[in-house]
Amino acid sequence: MTKKRTLALAVTLALAAFASTANAASGAQVDAAIDKGLAYLSGAQNAAGYWAYGGFEPAATGGAAFAMLSQQAHWNANAATYQANVDKAISYLLGNATMVNVSTRNDGVNICPGGAPSCTGIFWNAASNEDSYTTGLIAPAIALYGAQKGADTKVGGTSALKDMTWKEVAQGITNLWAASQSTANQGPNLRGGWRYILGDSIYDSDMSTTQWGAISMIYTQTLGATVPAIVKSDLANFLAWTQAPNGAGCYRGVESGLCNHADTGGLLLSLSFIGKSASDPAVQKAMDFLNKNWNQDANGTWYGNFNHPYAMWAVYKGLELNIGLDDTSVITSLRDLQCDTAGEGPTLPNVCNWWQDYNDWLVSSQAANGSWGGYDYWYGNLATAFYLPILGGTEIPVPVPEPATLAVLALGLLGLAGMRRRKAE
């Protein structure tokens, strides 16, 4: 179960000599689709640095900038142009960030690093007050860009964040999520999650928005940000409540009646964030739900898998973190696809993997201009921003354990390192 794209790409190669309408997309076809998608995003960017999205420009811009940065290996001769696209996008996002002072959650628990009486919080306001979605789409882009520039390098430019380092910006984003987390004041079930509004006195929780807090902090940690321990322990409470008996992630508990692929992908991601491994019973149940319902198409706005950009990106993140790209044992109820994992001989049925199944669908459904039509709320620029990282096999950072557990894990990790090397060979 290695997370190396090189090995997983080898799985995608099907022999042209045995061509069939059911043959999976080849590695060359996947690469060509990525190149077309990057060209589309580059050409769709507004001169001011954003990608248009009906009032949700910061969200779409965060998604598009992340997609382009995640596929930097494909920039090639377009490197200068694509870097300029990303530079303008980040400048636009920094100029639209909101800075506030935070100190405690609404239950009085201090969330500032080192117990400081107050600290900076950073987030992005959004149309319809959907700050969590917007900030969650922007934080990973900020993290990738900050890593490119250097975590301890100052942001510069003209925004209010110009004198901060990228690590400090990452910590500010983390501080804001921690301060905005629902607590026992919202009731025993909602404790630990997030909903739409950040940086305000309004607290609530649902699984769809909670995953954006998890992905934000998974990425801010890569720049050195620290997450208060109570954030993960309280989040565990909400995740346990919102998972259905059949393993699905649910919008607001089973009684919401809204349990689907997107929330299950978000659940898997969030379980990984709090330290659950692929062998954990909750993780196993969630993956079993996905396997049993893998072939569903998008339907009814929030339901389905294939052709649902929001769901596919959520599921991708959850599965990639837990089982990597080349696993064939967990998701087995794939579409009618012919693959040749050995790279020689006739193509054989039922030996494909989940990532290859996604990529085959994405290659076959891409528009001539490099975009994807999308579904419902998620179309054009944002659909393309969600799909490109899937095609490129983007590796989601492994969540960082809390400092108190690092010493305990150190010896075990030394032993696992040798095992991981052997699996990757």
With CA atoms as reference, report the closest residue to 322 among 358, 365, 273. 273
Q: Give 124's strand partners.
A: none
How high is the pLDDT of residue 161? 98
Per-residue pLDDT tens digits for 80-118? 999 999 999 999 999 999 999 999 999 999 999 999 999
**Which residues, 6 or more positions from 263, have their beta carbon under 8 angstroms from its beta carbon?**
207, 208, 211, 242, 248, 249, 250, 251, 314
Mean pLDDT of 163-168: 98
**Which residues, 6 or more positions from 22, have their beta carbon under 8 angstroms from its beta carbon?**
336, 337, 338
CA atoms within 13 A on the CB side of 233: 5
pLDDT above 50 (res 37):
yes
3-state secondary structure (DSSP) of residue 306:
strand
3-state secondary structure (DSSP) of residue 92:
helix
d(CA 135, CA 199): 11
Quote the mean pLDDT of the chain. Answer: 88
Angle (deg, nearest 10), helices 207-220 and 261-273: 40
pLDDT above 70 (res 181):
yes
How high is the pLDDT of residue 250? 98
Write out the H or E segment, with its range, that includes residue 404: helix 403-424
Mean pLDDT of 7-24: 40
Per-residue pLDDT tens digits for 254-310? 989 899 999 999 999 999 999 999 999 999 999 999 999 999 999 999 999 999 999
Is the CB of residue 121 less than 8 Å from the CB of residue 176?
yes
The rounded percent of the chain whose pLDDT value lies above 90 is 81
**Could you tell me the pLDDT band of residue 311, with boundaries at 50, 70 and 90?**
very high
Per-residue buried b or exposed e for 314-336, using 16+ beta carbons within 10 Å of the residue's own CB: bbbbbbbbbbbbbbbebbeebee
Put residue 327 in one of left, alpha, beta given phi > 0 → left and psi -120 to 50 → alpha: beta
pLDDT above 80 (res 193):
yes
**CB-CB neighbours of 78 under 10 Å:** 15
Residue ranges per domain, the chain? Answer: 1-44+293-425, 55-87+100-242
With CA atoms as reference, report the closest residue to 11 among 305, 348, 299. 348
Per-residue buried b or exposed e for 201-228, using 16+ beta carbons within 10 Å of the residue's own CB: eebebbbbbbbbbbbbbbbbbbbbbbbb
How high is the pLDDT of residue 68? 98
Largest CA distance in the chain: 68
CA-atom Rg of the chain in angstroms: 21
Task: Please report the beta strands in 20-60, taking only residues with DSSP state E, as ranges in sequence order.
Answer: none
